[in-house]
């Protein structure tokens, strides 16, 4: 493992969790929350399944995070397959639970990624409309998504960036990107975003690689590319979990360090509800747990 090279507060972090779907997964989630809370994230977010398929567990997770931890908690919200009234009911539940930060998303159709999106006849037409409604309420900090390699359903990158601009113009405070593994792609994307007049932060989404084979399957569905160098880095490690974890931590830490050199200061980490790899990445970046605990207690 490399030695620390950066002071703790040289960059901001946020974590993404997903709601558990079994007692075993619930135990894993709360173990992960406890392990990662010492890194003093700016906020954590909880995902929301297609068509509201995880509405109840998402709300339960959000309530517990707010009620039992000091973590600033953002709740995801989608508008797919839901009327405006149904969306508003979820917003009201979030508000009552103490949520003040919403990650607003159109959402994947319940029929799956890659299938056609059809707005609900009584719902929001797209994320920009949802953002505008949330901002009109005047109570919520709103984040949205961004796609350095463009959303799979976008006709082209220019159309995709126009979609982001409409979300920003509607009042989004920041965009959190889909995971990517080629920093040149992100930098070129950001240049185009700024040229389009979009000035909100575009926070890189970092996914430490738990399993390269599974990642490739996910990437093929959502339009993210997997650079060839990753195959070389993980070659021969399928049956060597300890070595594989070391390489995975190195890869994610190197990606963040390179982005820091390019002027990026905030990172959104997709935890997959697993702490060990995220811990290893942040340790490589110099954010020791002891320092984080001292900072949280100060």
pLDDT for res 155: 87
Residue 268 has pLDDT above 90, yes or no: yes
Say how far apart CA 172 and CA 167 lie, in whole Å: 6
Torsion angle of C-alpha atoms 164, 103, 211, 7, degrees rounded to 10: 90
Average pLDDT over residues 226-243: 94
In this structure, of 1-10, 127-136, 259-268, the range with the lowest mean pLDDT score is 1-10
Q: What is the pLDDT of residues 7-62, one digit of tens each?
A: 445 799 999 999 998 999 999 999 999 999 999 999 999 998 765 567 889 999 99
Q: How confident is the model at residue 296 (pLDDT cuts 50, 70, 90)?
A: very low
Active-site residue flag, 86: no
- For the stretch 127-133, contacts whose Cβ atoms lie closer than 8 Å and that sit 24 or more positions apart, written own/partner, are 127/79, 127/163, 127/167, 128/163, 128/166, 128/167, 128/169, 128/170, 129/79, 129/170, 130/77, 130/79, 130/87, 130/104, 130/106, 131/104, 131/167, 131/170, 131/171, 131/172, 132/170, 132/171, 133/84, 133/87
Phi and psi at 122, nearest 5°, equal: -115, 20
Average pLDDT over residues 75-89: 90
Burial classification of residue 95, based on how many CB atoms lie within 10 Å of its CB (0-12 exposed, 13-18 middle, 19 or more buried): middle
pLDDT for res 189: 97
The residue annotated as part of the active site, out of 16, 149, 153, 283, is 16
Pairing of strands 141-146, 43-46: unpaired
Which of helix, strand or coil describes residue 34?
A: helix
Q: What is the pLDDT of residues 146-165, one digit of tens each?
A: 999 998 888 899 999 999 99
Say how far apart CA 204 and CA 260 lie, in whole Å: 11
pLDDT for res 5: 41
Closest CA to 70 of 102, 27, 38, 47: 38
pTM above the 0.75 mark? yes
Burial classification of residue 209, based on how many CB atoms lie within 10 Å of its CB (0-12 exposed, 13-18 middle, 19 or more buried): buried
Helices 241-261, 275-284: axis angle to 10 degrees equals 50
Which of helix, strand or coil describes residue 203?
A: strand
Distances (CA, A) of 26 to 18, 21, 23, 65, 264: 10, 7, 5, 13, 33
Residue 113 has pLDDT above 60, yes or no: no
**Domains along the chain with CATH numbers:** 8-297 (3.20.20.220)
Maximum alpha-carbon separation in the chain? 56
Say how far apart CA 288 and CA 61 lie, in whole Å: 27
Closest CA to 17 of 54, 70, 68: 54
CB atoms within 10 A of CB 293: 14
């Amino acid at each position: 493992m490399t030695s620390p090279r950066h002071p703790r507060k040289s960059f901001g972090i946020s974590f993404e969790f997903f709601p558990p779907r079994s007692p075993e997964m619930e135990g894993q989630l709360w173990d992960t929350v406890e392990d990662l809370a010492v890194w003093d994230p700016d906020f954590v977010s909880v995902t929301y399944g297609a068509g509201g398929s995880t509405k109840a567990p998402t709300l339960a997770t959000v309530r517990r995070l707010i009620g039992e931890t000091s973590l600033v908690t953002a709740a995801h919200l989608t508008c797919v397959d839901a009327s405006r009234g149904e969306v508003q009911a979820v917003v009201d539940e979030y508000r009552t639970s103490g949520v003040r930060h919403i990650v607003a998303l159109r959402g994947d159709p319940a029929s799956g990624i890659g299938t056609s999106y059809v707005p609900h006849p009584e719902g929001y037409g797209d994320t920009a409309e949802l953002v505008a409604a949330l901002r009109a309420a005047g109570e919520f900090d709103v984040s949205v998504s961004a796609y350095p390699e463009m959303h799979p359903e976008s006709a082209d990158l220019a159309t995709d960036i126009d979609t982001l601009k409409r979300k920003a113009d509607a009042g989004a405070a920041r965009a959190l990107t889909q995971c990517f593994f080629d920093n040149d792609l992100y930098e070129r994307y950001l240049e185009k975003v700024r040229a389009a007049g979009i000035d909100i932060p575009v926070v890189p989404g970092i996914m430490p690689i738990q399993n390269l084979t599974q990642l490739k399957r996910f990437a093929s569905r959502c339009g993210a590319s997997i650079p060839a160098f990753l195959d070389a880095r993980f070659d021969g490690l399928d049956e060597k979990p300890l070595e594989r974890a070391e390489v995975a931590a190195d890869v994610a830490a190197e990606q963040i360090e390179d982005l820091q050199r390019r002027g990026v200061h905030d990172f959104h980490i997709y935890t997959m509800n697993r702490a060990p790899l995220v811990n290893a990445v942040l340790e490589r970046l110099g954010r020791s747990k002891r320092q984080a605990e001292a900072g949280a207690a100060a």
